[in-house]
Amino acid sequence: DAGVIQSPRHEVTEMGQEVTLRCKPISGHNSLFWYRQTMMRGLELLIYFNNNVPIDDSGMPEDRFSAKMPNASFSTLKIQPSEPRDSAVYFCASTLFTGTRNTEAFFGQGTRLTVV
């Protein structure tokens, strides 16, 4: 398996523009997580899905952020409109929940977002 695949790896956009980050989880995994990493705040959980259903989005910073998981193999994180303070590395991770326990969380390579 190729692991968790994120695209793009790098994104530079102007303030006010819409940004869409993409994630393909590991095949067979049924839980997907979006994290944001900054120097100041470290790794923060933004939202996660179990079986394609959003479970907890309390980490999403503002209404400008939204996430979808239309099927088991694809998720998007959208920021509209983007602001310079959204600049960070965004990670997607996936796990398999067996009904009693989770496997380890596998992370993608991340998308480095710069909003100018």
**Any bridge partners for residue 56, and if so which?**
48
- CB of 114 vs other proteins, minimal distance in Å: 15
* Of residues 81 and 89, the one with the C-beta less far from other proteins: 89
Q: Applying CB under 8 A, which of residues 88, 108, 113, 115 lies at the interface with other proteins? A: 108
Burial pattern 48-64, b for ≥16 Cβ within 10 A else e, equals bbeebebeeeeebeeee
For other proteins, which residue of 85, 102, 114, 116 counts as binding (CB under 8 A)? 102
- In this structure, what token pair is assigned to residue 71? 């099927």
Q: 70 preceded by cis ω (within 30°)? A: no
Could you tell me which stretch among 16-24, 67-75, 79-87, 88-96 binds other proteins (CB under 8 A)?
A: 88-96
The two tokens of residue 87 are: 């600049």
Please tell me whether residue 69 binds other proteins under the rule CB under 8 A. Answer: no
114 lines the binding site for other proteins (CB under 8 A): no
